[in-house]
Structure 1
């Protein structure tokens, strides 16, 4: 009888909580969207599968060594951790103390848990290497740079303003998050609001990079919102574009004004990096990788490297990036009122970004002989290729 009881206790079903069950369903939904509806499958599929792995009871695949220690509820071990943090020896108090602790203290507690015999799960390791270090989004930006042709932009620099206008969605999202916090509807700190705001740029790697730095506890919800709405661009944007333009404007035919030389294309990423990085050093990592990838493409002297970055490397990193994001799709982090706020703010941000880009194109047409089709203003959001 004891053997049977031990067998039953070892089964994951015996430890399946309501939160885990809900997250398993959410993960299955993401897999369905990726496979059946082909919504951003390159990332939603690994994110969804990572979510499945993260919510298997007792597997601990997404837990760090310290989280595994807290999950085992060993009174002696909790007392040791609590003594180091000067808090009560219970899981809730320890988690609160860790949330307020400096990163160096958190690292010490993680090392202490390892010394006690606990090991991080494989998804936790993926997260630490891919997102915690910031490497994966940077490599993806390198690949995106290698795939980008700036010729049309250099031929018609005015279109740069369309992309700038579309970023109003970011500011609107930040203000929206702070407004929800001000009225006590949903609690968001300023770093969390900034991380949520980047959803308005419709740029998945940037959203993951910033949320990993500013609000890692919201990473799962932000990534899912960003990529879900990017996949829904064909549904979100057309009604806004149609409402803000006339049939005549939608029929405007544009021609490339001039041929862009190879020298211009080579100089552009170098000059762009120097100008922006010298003014905003914090943007140097992301922009640097993007410009490096673009320089490899345009220089024409490292075609093998450029091809590798555009294909093999970016595909490999995408796998680990998706699984790492899936590691954050756990009930205690995802099933919060904040998630609903993130999803709501995300769709509003997309709408505002699209509208701002279209309206900027209409404004430019008022003072220019060479008309711009306002519809391309919607491509100011970074949801490529759907927005374009």
Structure 2
């Protein structure tokens, strides 16, 4: 009967910590509604992979030899070998996005680019803390405010902190309504937050909407080829949405495909949350660097708006710059909520939405550029 106690007796304190982490993620998903489609499977997976002699991981059994665990197998084929799961998810994301507000007001492209500042600031900070270039770049990409991009970049660069980066990326995305208002209010005056912006929707033709994903894919393919898988699948999903002849496929991509891939991705990435790889002081530092990246993303977008206002007659509400992060559509909703709190009836949502979808494209391109630059040095 002693074998019945083998599992209990072999539990380590690090594994107990991971049980608590898993329960915390599940609580955030259910009680607080924080990214439940990702945090719930990640939390439950964190418990599964840290059970002693867990059958979800590969293990050698007496008289049987090595057996394949389902989560490790999914990780090997879906993330490590091909990065298939995070890449496929972009088809669904692209099918969800309406680039109309951005195409109607192309200046919003600038805010998507500016709001990636936190990525590069965080990479420099991580390097100063002693992380090697691959790990520093992987930590910095948390600032992309895009979970699949963060997972893919950290995996391609073979980071030692894939699990921590995934948890940080999705946790901070869920905390955008808490993090961003604090940063925005610290950087702007009440008068700036009350700036009204007239929205004159320009007619975006169907031809332009169809041409946009094709043109973006071609341009990015030449400029940042390392990001073409992400950008290409994102743009393909958007083409499904805009072409007008594949409504069923577009709906499938937005709902069935996205939900299925998200479910698999969440529980699969928990393989990187094994206690021996996760419970470490460096993990806490990675989480702090990720927070720094998110904060300076917002700083970059707001600062650009304030600089542009020095040269514009029609002022831009600086909060629109903060919407340039990739957390779509949460960031634009947060900005609109703040505007309404400052002055009832101040509607800047469509401007914020334009900056927000620009951030989605910019974050994916930034991820590809990070891969391209880092691999050229390694």
TM-score where L is the length of structure 2: 0.84
Q: Distance between the aligned counterparts of 1:225 and 1:178, measured in 2?
A: 18
- 1:178 is aligned, of 108, 127, 136, to 127
Aligned residue number for residue 312 of structure 1: 256
Distance in 2, matches of 1:22 and 1:384, equals 32
**Aligned counterpart, 1:204:** 147
- Match of residue 41, structure 1, among 17, 21, 36: 36
The CA distance in 1 between the partners of 2:149 and 2:91, in whole Å, is 12
Paired residue total: 330
Aligned equivalents of 2:3, 2:232: Cα separation in 1: 55
1:289 corresponds in structure 2 to 233
In the aligned structure 2, how far is the partner of 1:216 from the partner of 1:279? 25
Maintained 8 Å contact 2:134/2:159: no
Q: 1:41 to 1:271 in 2, by over 3 A?
A: same
Displacement of 1:359 in angstroms is 1.2
Partner of 2:313: helix, strand, or coil? coil
Report the CA distance between 1:350 and its aligned residue.
0.8
1:191-228 Cα offsets, whole Å, 9 max, x none, are: 11111111011111100111111135311100001111
Instruction: Choose which of 294, 317, 333 in structure 1 pairs with 2:277.
Output: 333
Matches within 5 A, 1:1-388: 4-9=1-6, 12-61=7-56, 63-64=57-58, 68-69=59-60, 117-132=65-80, 133-181=82-130, 188-254=131-197, 255-388=199-332
- Where 1:55 maps in the other structure, the secondary structure is coil
Q: CA offset at residue 375 of structure 1? A: 0.9
Ranges in structure 1 where 5+ consecutive residues have no aligned partner: 75-115, 182-187
State the distance in 2 between where 1:169 and 1:195 align. 13
Q: Runs of 4+ in structure 1 displaced over 4 angstroms?
A: none
Question: Displacement, 1:60?
Answer: 4.0
Aligned to 1:107: none
Cα contact 2:162–2:272 (8 A) shared by 1: yes
Larger CA deviation: 12-21 vs 296-305: 12-21
The structural deviation recorded for 1:257 is: 4.9
Distance, in Å, in 2 between the alignment partners of 1:262 and 1:369 is 32
Shift, 1:169, TM fit: 0.4
Secondary structure of the 1:387 match is helix
Alpha-carbon contact 1:126-1:323 (below 8 Å) kept: no
Paired with 1:144 and 1:370, the residues of 2 have a C-alpha distance of: 33
Q: Secondary structure at the match of 2:253?
A: helix
> C-alpha displacement at 1:321, in angstroms?
0.1
Shift of 1:287: 0.5
SS of residue matched to 2:331: coil
| Normalised TM-score (structure 1) | 0.82
CA distance in 2, matches of 1:211, 1:256: 41
State whether residues 176 and 345 of structure 1, in contact with CA within 8 Å, keep that contact through their aligned partners in structure 2.
yes
Shift of 1:152: 1.0
Mapped partners of 1:367, 1:152: distance in 2: 23
Cα offsets for 1:103-146 (capped at 9, x unmatched): xxxxxxxxxxxxx8302211101112221221111111111111
Taking the aligned partners of 1:273 and 1:126, their CA distance within structure 2 comes to: 29
1:282, distance to aligned residue in structure 2 (A): 0.8
